[in-house]
Structure 1
Amino acid sequence: MKNPFLVFIYVFFVIIVIPVFLTVGIYKDYIFNEDVVKNKKFESLNIKVYNSRKDKVEIMDLEEYLYNVVASEMPATFNEEALKAQAIAARSYVFYRMENGGDKIPQHKGAIVCTDHTHCQEYLTIEQLKKAHGREWMRKLWPKVKKAVDDTRGMVLVYEGKTIQPLYHSTSGGRTENSEEVFSAKLPYLRSVDSPYEQGSPKLISNVKISKRDFINKFKDADIVLSGNIKEEIKVLSRTEGGSVKEIKIGKKVIRGRDVRKILNLNSSDFEIKINDNYVNIITKGYGHGVGMSQWGANGMANKGYKYDEILKHYFKGVKIEKKY
């Protein structure tokens, strides 16, 4: 290659064109660099998702991933404004994981998020959604979910310039919880607020009926001893601002309300225990941990005419909506 012009073309492509091409390609994917994630304005974004069902890390377009998350996490029959609020919360969850070492979490196996709903957000594939809801649902409601995601493309929730941890749950029972009363961290945007429009939720009020013997045995399995005089051995000592049981005395032990929820497999920690002759009735309000956005409350607000941004700013105090791309 002695021709100077050909040498110049070769050097130009090797040193300038190819590196630029590769760089542009990389920026379409998630780069495991916090500064890039925080400061780069993306046109699109690919992320690594650990598919727990397949035991495999997959590359997904973020917006396409969100179609399935929103369809899996919230009923597609909900008001479009509630679906938009859910889409922004779900997208914020991904960015929060990006900015806070999601790929370092052992369960993620190098990915930012996983498909295990007990650990991250629920994610059902198209095939699973079809099986769960049927073809008519896919024809009528799948486009509605996609539109909610598309209409909020690139939007995330931030507090003082940082993406928030956007917790959400099914039903609060009338008032959400302060984060520190359920989890360990006190976060300024996860404050207890009224959630008055949840009347449509099937889990707003629930009743569990159990025999006294089974009730005693369930606590016995948790190393808590009760005699036959249950009414005298149970006393709620304190409740959270949101109304959940904070501490309760069972027998001679004082335990947390969320421990009772786990022992008895209750819908929430907002419960009352009523003792009858042969049975124990446990009445619960709400479904889930109660922190952040109530999904049924969001739908209720939307049906009252509130827009997605108003819904989000009600449940997440002091936040702003930022468009990343």
Structure 2
Amino acid sequence: MKFKAFLLFLFLTSFSVLGNDIQIGVYRGHNIQRIDFSYNEGSYMIYGDSTAFGALLPNEFVSLNKVGSKIELKKGVRVLGTFKKVTLKPTSNENVLRLRPRAPVLHERKYNDGFIIFSGTKGLTIVNDVSYKHYLGGVVESEGGGGKHIEYYKAQAVISRTYALKYLKRHQKEGFNLCDQVHCQAYHNKLIYTDDIRKAVNAVDGIYIIDTVSNSLVEGFFHANCGGQTSSSDYVWKEEIPYLQPFKDTFCIYTRQATWEKRIPKIEWRKFLVNNYFYPIEDSLYRSIIYTFDQVDRKAFYLSPHLGIPLRDLRYQFKLRSTYFSCSPDGQDVLIKGKGFGHGVGLCQEGAMGMANQGLNYQQILSFYFEGIQFKHYFEKLFFNQLPYKVGDL
């Protein structure tokens, strides 16, 4: 057993040196035509295709400009050439670059590790070649913010790693794994403000969760606030997932995003239902209840399933915080009183924060939101898979 543990230690040590990288497309909500990369911490080697142009040092920057299917590369004001791909490789593990889009002009961001840039169909494709440790730190801070309990950060890091592993090939055709937008996971910067996030990510390094029935990675969905009851996955994506059944959650009901209100003009509400779903407005019974809907427990459809009006469609059309709402006529408006923020499936972030504040650890938190799961360690799995002999022989 000691020999087995020693081999595992050697493997994990060598694996951390080699890195466990993931490629993230950043600024994906914009068609970047020109962007500057400047020194922040640690030097970077500059490559245009396979040609090396030395290092990016303090007070220096490179400028990349889309020119058709290629990129014009400048170092300062000196043009280095036009290339299919530009690569910025860090010279050590903790290096950081500043990114400042110039066309269009956008806020500066900072990211750890390396970059690969090539010309896409509409703009530059900017890919952060980053370690899981640095990626998860940025995701947890972007998704959860600062000032939270470390056990919540651990839970968020585990679910975010699981999600990344599950959808590792989502943007493969575009030249990277995941993007920085919320349909993948928000990743708006390197970890900057919260050292507890760094500690949490390190504490759960390599841990992910599987569904014990299918022995596959769970769907690591999460949302801001469930409003007191999580949602069944088929209410949102038409696919029922056994370990994501709806249940009551009292840990989030007194938080800032637990309740909300919004007014919609009656004429807009009625027009949308009639024009898009052929609501039977000529029927006197249905005409009398078109603005009245009571949702004690979460439902999938407005008023009645046979009308075929998904609540998710109403949410998107009228920019509602969630599908968990009731409504009633109020003068010329429909008064909507809602609960929660987000799709309601999986981990409720504000609920998880409440659980952590009450002393529950990250495993208890995740087991509360994902039924019948098992915690696995990615590095250990890789180690035992590569052994040329059985573990029992050690």
Shorter-chain TM-score: which interval? Answer: 0.7 to 0.9
Change (3 A) 1:243 1:75: farther
Amino acid at match of 2:201: V
Residue of 99, 105, 110 corresponding to 2:175: 110
Rate the CA distance shift 1:253–1:176 in 2: closer, same or farther, 3 A. Answer: closer
Q: Choose from 191, 196, 203 the match for 2:245.
A: 191
Counterpart contact for 2:227–2:252, Cα < 8 Å: yes
Q: Structure 1 stretches (4+) deviating beyond 4 angstroms?
A: 217-231, 234-237
The residue correspondences of 1:237-316 to structure 2 (distance < 5 A) are 243-249=297-303, 254-316=308-370
Distance 1:43 1:157 in 2: 24
Residue 180 to residue 223, structure 1, CA distance change in 2 (3 Å): closer
User: Judging changes above 3 Å, is the alpha-carbon distance between structure 1 residues 43 and 324 closer, same or farther for their aligned structure 2 residues?
Assistant: farther
Question: How far, CA to CA, are the matches of 1:186 and 1:253 in structure 2?
Answer: 21
C-alpha spacing 1:301/1:315, structure 2 compared with 1 (3 Å):
same
| Letter matched to residue 185 of structure 2 | Q
Say which of 47, 57, 66 aligns to 2:22. Answer: 47
Residues 245 and 187 (structure 1 numbering): CA distance in 2 closer, same or farther, change over 3 Å?
closer
1:151 aligns with 2:206: no
| Aligned equivalents of 2:19, 2:336: Cα separation in 1 | 49
- CA distance in 2 between counterparts of 1:114 and 1:64 reads 15
Percent sequence identity is 25
Deviation readout 1:231-263 (Å, 9 max, x if unpaired)? 4334659x6xx923322259x954111111122
Residue 215 of structure 1 deviates from its aligned partner by: 3.5
Structure whose residues are more often strand by fraction: 2
Question: What are the superposed Cα offsets for residues 166-223 of structure 1, whole Å, 9 maximum, x if unpaired?
Answer: 1000100111112222212222221222211114432211010233334445556747
User: Is this contact kept in 1: 2:292–2:329, CA < 8 A?
Assistant: no
Flag the structure with higher helix content: 1
Aligned pairs, how many? 266
- The reply on whether 1:124 has 2:158 as its aligned counterpart is no
CA RMSD of aligned residues (A): 3.0
Query: Which residue identity is paired with 1:151?
Result: A
Distance 2:373 2:325 in 1: 31
CA distance in 2, matches of 1:235, 1:212: 11
Tell me which of 225, 229, 232 is aligned to 1:178. 232
Aligned to 1:207, the other structure's residue is in SS state strand
TM-score (norm 2): 0.61
Paired residue type of 2:189? T
Q: Tell me what 1:17 maps to.
A: none
The structure, 1 or 2, with the larger RCO (C-alpha pairs under 8 Å, 6+ apart) is 1
- Contact in 2 for aligned 1:205/1:283 (Cα 8 Å): yes
Kept in 2, the 8 Å contact 1:63–1:149? The answer is yes
